Structure 1
């Protein structure tokens, strides 16, 4: 598996699809945490974090990859109310019952479900909330992006970094509510490819299957592009609830 280099982390920050600002505002209002303490677990370069900083009392940005934490800090160093922690979902180092709201974006796919649930139960206040953000589309754009190049090494990496539990598993005995916030995003080839290659599972230029991987994506992009640009229609998907852990 490739390490998260600075170049890859920069691509992640520049080219990954944005999350809906409206979705974050909705979560803050619904959970009533404008004066609360939030933990963004797997915060990466701050794609989701940025929507909460300044809108709540404090955000703990928890991310194990140094380069991603560094870029997030560089992007938000003038903003108050954020503290960075070198940690993971399974071991955040936060105090017991200290968090009003846990948020997690697509990084939740990488969590160890059982260990993460135990940690969530430990750090959440008794009436604390959990909001899991992801991308959703009913045109299978994201699925097709992962399947466009059927290379064994890539498939193995994807399988190794994604658990099979449904998102609802992280809420224990409670049933979260699901919300969709529609978005539309336009990408040139450079933006599309930047998002694809920013993933930790993607090959780097030194690997012998890099050119095959890139060419497959070029063909896919050219097939669906119009005037050198594609339109990505998707939603920020939010699962929101108050977990009940036995």
Structure 2
């Protein structure tokens, strides 16, 4: 299956159950990189618009680039009335945006899907000379018992599971090759779930089964059991850190 189609049929669940990002992340970008109402931000691999909406909430102008029709439609339905929002059917490697028109590029939970050499070339083409790229991920804290049980479920039932974010966090050299120089900042961002959102969040992964698949009912039952084991007063808190790598690009 092509990467652009991996979330087909999952868009509603993705929009409903995937976590957002801390306000302080955007505040820091505004302070450290001079983002203001005149800046044009390209949110690449924008999905259902989780990062896009966060940027719009801070009165920033956003061009959201997303190739998956299901995901893009959910974002457009949610954000189409916002005057500072534009939606583009494009890929990370071919955004269709004009050259040297973008002040800042964001990539939230999508970097691991890209052809990094082609994406870097496209970033260099569309960015203004002083432009920067920010790569953002919600990084699970995995050395806790509940996360070990979640990983075991994915290992048992999801053949395409190769680690969270496709194992990208285990390969820091990819970021070093992508950027000429960059800074890394981390933000504590714990995630609170009730039973529905806990199960929905874990079914929204690209490698998780969808309703009708052979393993679907078993996976739902397994996640339900984990929730019931670890919940307190009907909630589970998963430790999570939002990580942002931001900087200038190296040569292609």
Instruction: Verify: 1:129 aligned to 2:132, yes or no.
Output: yes
Instruction: Tell me the equivalent position of 2:153.
Output: 148
Give the Cα–Cα distance (whole angstroms) in 2 for the partners of residues 198 and 112 of structure 1. Answer: 23
Match of 2:77 among 74, 78, 81: 74
Instruction: Verify: 1:118 aligned to 2:125, yes or no.
Output: no
Q: How far does residue 84 in structure 1 lie from its aligned partner after superposition?
A: 0.6
Instruction: Tell me the equivalent position of 1:217.
Output: 223
Give the Cα–Cα distance (whole angstroms) in 1 for the partners of residues 120 and 178 of structure 2. Answer: 8
Change (3 A) 1:234 1:240: same
What CA deviation, in whole Å up to 9, does each residue of 1:180-205 have, x standing for no partner? 12223321111011111122321122
Contact 2:209 2:215 in 1 (8 A): yes
Change (3 A) 1:133 1:210: same
Gaps of 5+ in 1: none
After TM superposition, the score normalised by the length of structure 1 is: 0.87
Change (3 A) 1:187 1:83: same
Contact 1:87 1:93 in 2 (8 A): yes
After TM superposition, the score normalised by the length of structure 2 is: 0.85
Q: For residue 136 of structure 1, give the secondary structure of its aligned residue in structure 2.
A: strand
Match of 1:241 among 239, 247, 250: 247
Instruction: Tell me the equivalent position of 1:102.
Output: 105
Of the two structures, which has the highest relative contact order with CA contacts closer than 8 Å and spacing of 6 or more?
Answer: 1
Q: For residue 222 of structure 1, give the secondary structure of its aligned residue in structure 2.
A: helix
Give the Cα–Cα distance (whole angstroms) in 1 for the partners of residues 237 and 121 of structure 2. Answer: 40
Instruction: Verify: 1:199 aligned to 2:202, yes or no.
Output: no
Contact 1:148 1:220 in 2 (8 A): no
Alignment of 1:2-151 (within 5 A): 4-5=7-8, 8-34=10-36, 35-53=38-56, 55=58, 58-140=61-143, 144=148, 145-151=150-156
Change (3 A) 1:95 1:14: same
Q: How far does residue 3 in structure 1 lie from its aligned partner after superposition?
A: 5.3
> What CA RMSD, in Å, does the superposition of the two structures yield over aligned residues?
2.5
Q: How far does residue 67 in structure 1 lie from its aligned partner after superposition?
A: 1.8
Give the Cα–Cα distance (whole angstroms) in 2 for the partners of residues 242 and 206 of structure 1. Answer: 45
